[in-house]
């Protein structure tokens, strides 16, 4: 399944603008990241990821919005107070509507994710 096919099949129509805006932001902020699909088993479907050396950003749809996971998010500078989750390494941003799409924060997080992966 391609990323576009995944979005069509798994992302609710009202949440697709969030994914489109995030994909455009990643292309602008860190164009060296490649986009693809990761995983997928009988029990779990694959999800879109962005990577340089390894998967560093994951997009996951939920019933109420989009969750964006950052692999090294626990190490990020977060003056916005948006990163959440219980992970010791990864952190997430949950977005329910375009009104919650914080471009400044997401730009910072994508930049930091790319910087960590560059080494």
Residue 68 backbone phi and psi in degrees, to 5: -110, 120
**Contact predicate 48/37, CB 8 Å:** yes
Q: What is residue 44's predicted lDDT score, i.e. its pLDDT?
A: 66
**What length is written for the chain?**
119
In whole angstroms, give the CA distance from residue 86 to residue 89: 9
β-bridge partners, 67? 60, 94
Q: Which CA distances in Å does 2 have to 34, 81, 102, 103?
A: 13, 33, 26, 25
The answer to whether domain 3-118 has CATH 3.40.309.10 is no
Structural domain boundaries in the chain: 3-118
Q: What is the mean pLDDT of each run of 10 residues along the chain (119 residues)?
A: 93 98 98 90 79 95 96 95 92 97 98 92
């Amino acid at each position: 399944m391609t990323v576009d096919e995944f979005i069509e099949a798994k992302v609710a129509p009202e949440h697709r603008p969030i994914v489109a805006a995030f994909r455009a932001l990643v292309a602008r902020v860190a164009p060296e990241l490649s986009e693809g699909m990761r995983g997928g088993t009988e029990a779990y479907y694959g999800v879109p990821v962005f990577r340089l050396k390894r998967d560093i950003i994951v997009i996951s749809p939920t019933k109420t919005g989009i969750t964006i996971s950052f692999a090294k998010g626990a190490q990020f500078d977060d003056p916005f107070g948006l990163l959440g989750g219980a992970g010791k390494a990864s952190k997430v941003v949950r977005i329910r509507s375009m009104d919650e799409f914080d471009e400044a924060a997401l730009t910072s997080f994508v930049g930091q994710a790319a910087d960590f992966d560059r080494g």
